[in-house]
Amino acid sequence: MSSIPAPRSLLRAIACLVLSITLLPCHAAEKKYSTAQPVELTKDGRHWAEQTLKKLSLEEKIGQLFCTRYYMDFENFESEDYVRFRDQLQRYHIGSVILSVKVDGPLLLKSSPLDAATMTNQLQRESKLPLLVAADFERGLAMRMNDVPVFPDAMAFAATGNPANAERFGEIVAEESRAVGIHWNFFPIADVNINPNNPIINTRSYGEDPATVGEFAAAFIRGARAHGMLTTAKHFPGHGDTGTDSHLGVPQVNANLARLQSVELPPFKQAIAAGVDAVMVAHVSVPALEPSPNKVATTSEKVIQGVLRQQLGFNGVVVTDAMDMRGLTSLYPPQQGNIAGRAAVDALKAGDDLLLMPSDLDGAYRGVLEAVQHGEIPESRIDDSVQRILELKASLGLNKAREVDVQQVPHVVSKPEDMQFARQVADEAVTLVRSNGKALPLARMIPPPPIAGPYSTAPVQSSVQVVTIIMSDSVHGLWGRGLENAIKARRADATIFYVDSSLANPLSAPILQAVKDAGKVVVAAYLSPVSGKQVMVNGKLQNTVGLEQSQAYLFKQVMDLAAPKTVVLAMGNPYLAVSFPEIQNYICTFSAASSSELSAARVLFGELQPHGRLPVTLPGIAPRGAAR
């Protein structure tokens, strides 16, 4: 029997079908990756959360309530540390991980974006349910990674006066974070820094005006959520008027209800209105809201259910601050036994949904499990929190794809326009608070005109010597390196001194002699809030963002000797001048970031006109909003 040729149209259709089948693996590969889309809980996502909850055992549900810490740097996946963490992740059915980096003394051992993406993918493969991956990216990915845009602190954004900067910052952080597999930022800070002596908030806050803080926090939230990142307003009900770091002790906010309603709470209201996904509760005592001396906001039903849920109408996820902090653990005497378990149970009973970094994961997990088994906590209470957490995962599309495409990281992270935007924000933030018209600008070293012939000539030496004193917590850290490079690029003859508490006394004689001989002096004080930081003041250890005693004494000597020709750079804490009212030339960057160092140098040499305005009042020095 002879064959009949197929019609040309049929052959064409078969060819198209074969081609489409051939291309299917490529499309399937594209769909397996998690990509950044606006945060949105769809009907399908809610259904997935409901159905997933029904399938979980009690043990698995309890595990979803915990967020533990791991590191984003390179790790061999057969190493002892990684295997230990992987086993912990699976044994306790952990629902979320906060990624950080290791430290070496004053140095953060930052990783690369590719290392982070590789680690998040591996962690997702190890978990039965998709993991929520969080980070503290208050200044963007540069907090934990190298070769990314370096943004200044929140207070610097407020100094620019432009909330659109905060919104664009949120967009960039979201895009870069999602590209490396991180979904959740524990930011923005909604604390109103009305206490100049606050040792832990300071430049992390947008300032002292509640409306401004709320406006900038809301702007960041809108930008981040529109580009796929979960946000967190912290530290509820407000950590801005405290004199104690909750990493070291129990801070207290001694404000009446009227003050709380007018200062502390409004930024959180604005954050909630902007759609913030989570609120982090602080380990602070607020007697006006919770009179019990044995409870902080973290363990107070009055604060969480009464104020946050009912009064402010927040329906999202409530997160504890790190549960290994002394602000919480000091409330539980050692003889009580399982401290981590008791704290976890108290937090859940108060209304917290997610327990961040317990001091003892096994103790905390067992404590919650036993509390449910013995009827102290209804299982329905656990279900409520797990439902919220699963809905967060679904709002990011993690129920459909959880790994990221590592090959796309170099196309998304560290775009030239984003790097430039970080420098722009730092430039716009620089604020000139005081100037006597004599010290600024510094003169650049000008090279001579070229001379014909085979011989080169040395640069023209300025007759005015420039001396720079860089004060920081440790001369072994990175503080001041960027500023030194920027100054040396303009004045190769500049003399640079690095001073910390151990060197202030031994170096005082040569420094003071150099100051006396100098034509111009620059003192750069790197003072930023650091968890658990204590310095020696008047012979006693104090929790402060100020200068240590020996540094403060040297600083005062420099001012007494050469205030008219000295420019003080507050590379962080703007309140420094309050302790030294004799300062005549004062510039605030509100940040120690390398981008802020370059901006400060440009102002010193007259290359940049400062346009920032103070987001806080400097008592006796300048009011909020001031600028020269």
pLDDT, tens digit (0-9, with 9 covering 90-100), for 457-492: 444 455 569 999 999 999 998 999 999 999 999 999
Task: Return the pLDDT at 463.
Answer: 55
Does residue 21 have a pLDDT over 60?
A: no
- Percent of the chain's residues with pLDDT above 70: 91
Mean of pLDDT values over 9-19: 44
Cα–Cα distance, 394 to 43 (Å, whole number): 10
Q: Which candidate, 42, 3, 71, 30, places its Cα nearest to that of 396?
A: 42
Nearest to 129 by CA among 90, 99, 98, 100: 90
Could you give the C-alpha distances from 557 to 434, 509, 561, 580, in angstroms and in order? 19, 11, 6, 11
**Residue 452: its pLDDT value, please?**
53
pLDDT digits (tens, 9 = 90+) for 214-261: 999 999 999 999 999 999 999 999 999 998 888 888 999 999 999 999
Q: Classify residue 597 by burial, with Cβ atoms within 10 Å: 0-12, 13-18, 19+.
A: buried
Q: Work out the burial of residue 512: count CB atoms within 10 Å of its CB; fewer than 13 is exposed, 13-18 middle, 19 or more buried.
A: middle
What pLDDT was estimated at residue 532?
73
State residue 445's pLDDT score. 84
What is residue 276's three-state secondary structure? Answer: coil
Mean pLDDT (whole number) for 275-281 = 98
d(C-alpha 23, C-alpha 201), whole Å = 54
% the chain with pLDDT above 90:
84
Stretch 119-123: mean pLDDT: 97
Confidence check: pLDDT of 15 > 50: no
Residues with a catalytic annotation lie at 247, 321
pLDDT tens across 298-313, in order? 999 999 999 999 999 9
Of residues 571, 399, 552, the one with CA closest to residue 487: 571
Please, what are the domains in the chain? 43-420 (3.20.20.300), 430-447+459-604 (3.40.50.1700)
Cα 112 to Cα 183, 199, 422: the distances in Å are 17, 30, 18
* pLDDT value, residue 2: 41
- Tens-place pLDDT, residues 542-577: 778 889 999 999 999 999 999 999 999 999 999 999
pLDDT band of 536, cuts 50, 70, 90: low
pLDDT band at 334 (very low <50, low <70, confident <90, very high): confident
Q: Report d(CA 437, CA 564) in Å as an integer.
A: 9
Neighbouring-strand partners of residue 104: 107
Decide: helix, strand or coil at residue 343.
helix
What pLDDT is recorded for position 447? 61
- Report the 10 Å Cβ neighbour count for 461: 10
Distance of CA 591 to the CA centre of its chain: 12
Model pTM? 0.92
Contacts of 374-378 with C-beta under 8 Å, sequence gap 24+, read: 376/345, 376/349, 377/345, 377/348, 377/349
Whether the Cβ atoms of residue 340 and residue 367 lie closer than 8 Å to each other: yes
Q: Which candidate, 320, 318, 366, 301, places its Cα nearest to that of 339? A: 366
Give the rounded distance of the alpha carbon of 573 from its chain centre.
16
pLDDT value, residue 244: 87
Which range among 26-30, 81-85, 141-145 shows the weakest confidence by mean pLDDT? 26-30
| Separation of alpha carbons 511 and 508, rounded Å | 5
3-state secondary structure of 27: helix
Spell out the residues 6+ positions from residue 291 whose beta carbon is closer than 8 angstroms to its own: none
The residue type of 95 is G
pLDDT tens string 381-417: 999 999 999 999 999 999 999 999 999 999 999 999 9
End-to-end CA distance of the chain: 99
Q: What is the rounded average pLDDT of the residues 432-444?
A: 96
* Tens digit of each residue's pLDDT (9 = 90 or more) over 41-58: 999 999 999 999 999 999
User: Binning pLDDT at 50, 70 and 90, where does residue 19 land?
Assistant: very low
Write the pLDDT tens digit of every residue in 62-118: 999 999 999 998 889 999 999 999 999 999 999 999 999 998 877 888 999 999 999
Q: Kindly list the distances between the CA atom of residue 579 and the CA atoms of 469, 511, 582, in Å, as whole numbers in the listed order.
A: 18, 21, 9
> Count of residues for the chain?
628
Three-class HEC string of 62-87 = HHHCEEEEEECCCCCCCCHHHHHHHH
What pLDDT is stored for residue 275 in this prediction? 98
What pLDDT digit, counting tens, does each position of 580-614 carry?
Answer: 999 999 999 999 999 999 999 999 999 999 999 99
CA dihedral 581, 586, 591, 597 (to 10 degrees): -140
- Provide the 3-class DSSP secondary structure of residue 570: strand
Phi, psi (degrees; rounded to nearest 5) at 618:
-105, 100
